[in-house]
């Protein structure tokens, strides 16, 4: 019988090896640390998980594809971007996870996202493995025609690696309905197949699921509400700070309002907006979804209640709950101190890995309910899996039905994380609960399926 401390030492050795074998991938190292550092109790308690090679296989992607993406801008100039698809783990189902188009994308970023996705997808309870992809292409300021040519070139390589039973991409930063449309069109053209289940986040007239655009933000608010219920409170009357102003942030703000809370901020890479009256969602959607503009335009058009703070941090605005919904490592130790000083009760991650490890530690130590992204933002991929189910059955469900399923799934994830944390002597620690519960499901499937 291995003890927890022996297991911890073995995991520390493995983490050192991961750093050596995957140089210059700090985000992947961070994600691996965050998961492996919480697994000692479950590995010590269940000897089958100590089988040599299990964790080593879990941290090594099954397949990594890197390819050239050449495209021409509107002036005829040729650009060369790099495309990625990391197919991390398919023990539970086809690889599933989004595509990110952002200038910061590199192999380490895609591997961190793909690694997180394995456990997140396991937590949904649905049959989906983990993968992620994207490109260092920056869509900001590009015309629709340029984005279309880029997406067509990207898919001209990606199509050979994906399929409804193999690997099913969706959106992430920089990839929304417009991009999924262009990607789907090129896939259909190259393969001569109407294979709706090859991509999720499709338009509603051609195979998309109702509530998929809303699902990540709505799901994160449902997770935050469940954490608050655990503390004997609800969201009614609470003030919220939200970062980002893209897909996740917008539908987070919408669901907060529906549950009686008031989101007073949003942001983008230029700075943040604080609006004392609460964010006017129609105006924000018009600027971000229709005009593809910047958040300072919101403050200009909203009037006296709103102001734009260039380069500032939303975490400086006092609030009861915080929902980081932009990008990784956007909430650091100093931000956590500010939130705690201002009396924050819950932090729920809409983005992937937005809080640094130091911030998470401080928040948990201060008794703040902390919902890790792989649990709190799982609603998006869960509804993607429901989109795949509808595509497979050649049917479409009502918005009410999808939202009801989403609500069940988020409440189940909350309960699973909460109960798992208690079972492993970490009551209230959703990080440990999410990691162990996700790990158990993937590890059981990997052990049953042999050394592959």
Catalytic residues: 132
Q: Which helix (H) or strand (E) holds 50?
A: none
Query: Which helix (H) or strand (E) element contains residue 322?
Result: strand 321-323
Q: Report what 398 binds from ligand 2IT, ligand NDP, none; CB cut-off 5-8 Å by kind.
A: none
3-state secondary structure of 59: coil
Q: Site size for ligand NDP, by CB under 6 A?
A: 24
Q: Is 381 in the site for ligand 2IT (CB under 6 A)?
A: yes
> Taking a C-beta distance cutoff of 8 angstroms, is the pair 229, 208 a contact?
no
User: Is residue 245 a contact residue for ligand NDP (CB under 6 A)?
Assistant: yes
188 or 202, CB closer to ligand 2IT?
202
CA distance 64 to 85: 6
Residue 168 or 295: the one with the smaller Cβ distance to ligand 2IT is 168
Non-local CB neighbours of 220 within 8 Å, separated by 6+ positions: 248, 252, 323, 325, 348, 349, 350, 371, 376, 377, 379
CA distances from 50 to 55, 60, 116, 231, 369 (A): 8, 17, 21, 36, 31
Residue choice 247, 338, 391, 420 for contact with ligand NDP (CB under 6 A): 247
Q: Are 262 and 278 in contact (CB under 8 A)?
A: yes
* Smallest separation, CB 191 to ligand 2IT (Å): 20
Strands 346-348 and 321-323, by their bridges, are parallel
332 touches ligand NDP by CB under 6 A? no
Site for ligand NDP in 80-109 (CB under 6 A): 102, 104
Whole-number Å distance between alpha carbons of 302 and 435: 42
Distance CA 170, CA 112 (A): 17
Per-residue contact string for residues 108-127; x = within reach of ligand 2IT by CB under 6 A = ---------x--x-------
Residue 350 contact among ligand NDP, ligand 2IT, none, beta carbon within 5 to 8 Å by kind: ligand NDP
Q: How far is the CB of 380 from ligand 2IT (least distance, A)?
A: 4
Does residue 135 touch ligand 2IT according to CB under 6 A?
A: no
The CB-of-195 to ligand 2IT minimum distance in angstroms stands at 16
Strand, helix or coil at 314? helix
Strands 63-72 and 321-323: unpaired
Residue list 146-205, contact with ligand 2IT (CB under 6 A): 170, 172, 200
Q: Does 325 bind ligand 2IT (CB under 6 A)?
A: no
Q: Out of 122, 326, 406, 421, point to the residue binding ligand NDP (CB under 6 A).
A: 326
Instruction: Find the angle CA(287)-CA(180)-CA(241) to the nearest 5 degrees.
Output: 40
Cβ burial, residue 6 (10 Å; 0-12/13-18/19+): middle
- Does the protein bind ligand NDP through residue 305 (CB under 6 A)? no
Give, as one character, the DSSP assignment of residue 231.
T
Q: How far apart are CB 288 and ligand NDP at their closest, in Å?
A: 7
How much is the CA Rg of the chain, to the nearest whole Å? 21
DSSP state, residue 193: -
Nearer residue to ligand NDP within complex by CB, 268 or 387: 268
Q: How far is the C-alpha of 169 from the C-alpha of 308, rounded, in Å?
A: 35
Name the segment binding ligand 2IT (CB under 6 A); options: 72-80, 314-322, 332-340, 377-385. Answer: 377-385
Q: How far is the CB of 172 from ligand 2IT (least distance, A)?
A: 4
In the complex, what is the shortest distance from the CB of residue 110 to ligand 2IT, in angstroms, rounded to a whole number?
A: 11
Looking at beta carbons only, is 250 or 437 nearer to ligand NDP?
A: 250
Q: Does 181 bind ligand NDP (CB under 6 A)?
A: no
Judged by CB under 6 A, the residue of 89, 327, 384, 391 near ligand 2IT is: 384
Residue 134's beta-bridge partner residues? 84, 100
Q: Give the interface with ligand 2IT as residue ranges (CB under 6 A).
A: 96-98, 117, 120, 170, 172, 200, 352, 380-381, 384
Q: Give the interface with ligand NDP as residue ranges (CB under 6 A).
A: 102, 104, 171-174, 176, 216, 244-249, 268-269, 325-327, 350-352, 377, 380
């Amino acid at each position: 019988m291995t003890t927890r401390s022996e297991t911890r030492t073995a995991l520390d050795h493995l983490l050192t090896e991961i750093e050596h074998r995957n140089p210059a991938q700090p985000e992947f190292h961070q994600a691996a640390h965050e998961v492996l550092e919480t697994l000692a109790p479950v590995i010590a308690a269940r000897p089958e998980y100590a089988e040599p090679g299990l964790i080593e296989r879990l941290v090594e992607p099954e397949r990594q594809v890197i390819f050239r993406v050449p495209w021409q801008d509107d002036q005829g100039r040729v650009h060369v971007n790099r495309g990625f698809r990391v197919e991390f783990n398919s023990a539970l189902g086809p690889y599933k996870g989004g595509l990110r188009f952002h200038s910061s994308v590199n192999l380490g970023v895609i591997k961190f996202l793909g690694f997180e996705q394995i456990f997140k997808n396991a937590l949904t309870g649905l049959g989906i493995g983990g993968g992620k992809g994207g490109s260092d292409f920056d869509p900001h300021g590009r015309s629709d025609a340029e984005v279309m040519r880029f997406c067509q070139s990207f898919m001209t390589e990606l199509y050979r690696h994906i399929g409804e039973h193999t690997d099913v991409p969706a959106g992430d930063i920089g990839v929304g309905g417009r991009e999924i449309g262009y990607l789907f069109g090129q896939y259909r053209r190259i393969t001569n197949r109407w294979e709706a289940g090859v991509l999720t986040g499709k338009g509603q007239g051609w195979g998309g699921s109702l509530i998929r655009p809303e699902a990540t933000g709505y799901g994160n608010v449902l997770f935050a509400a469940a954490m608050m219920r655990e503390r004997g409170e609800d969201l009614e009357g609470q003030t919220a700070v939200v970062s980002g102003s893209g897909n996740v942030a917008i539908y987070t703000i919408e669901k907060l309002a529906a549950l009686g809370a008031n989101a007073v901020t949003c942001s983008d890479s230029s700075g943040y907006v604080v609006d004392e009256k609460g964010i006017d969602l129609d105006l924000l959607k018009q600027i971000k979804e229709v005009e593809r503009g910047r958040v300072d335009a919101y403050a200009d058009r909203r009037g006296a209640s709103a102001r734009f703070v260039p380069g500032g941090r939303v975490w400086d605005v006092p609030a009861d709950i915080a929902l980081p919904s932009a990008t990784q490592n956007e909430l650091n130790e100093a931000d956590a101190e500010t939130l705690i000083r201002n009396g924050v009760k819950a932090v729920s991650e809409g983005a992937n890995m937005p809080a640094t490890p130091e911030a998470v530690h401080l928040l948990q130590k201060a008794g703040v309910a902390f919902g890790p992204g792989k649990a709190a933002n799982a609603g998006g991929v869960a509804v993607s899996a429901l989109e795949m189910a509808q595509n497979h059955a050649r049917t479409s469900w009502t918005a009410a039905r999808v939202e009801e399923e989403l609500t069940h799934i988020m409440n189940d994830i909350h309960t699973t994380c909460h109960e798992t944390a208690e079972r492993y002597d970490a009551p209230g620690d959703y990080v440990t609960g999410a990691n162990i519960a996700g790990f158990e499901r993937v590890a059981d499937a990997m052990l049953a399926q042999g050394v592959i």
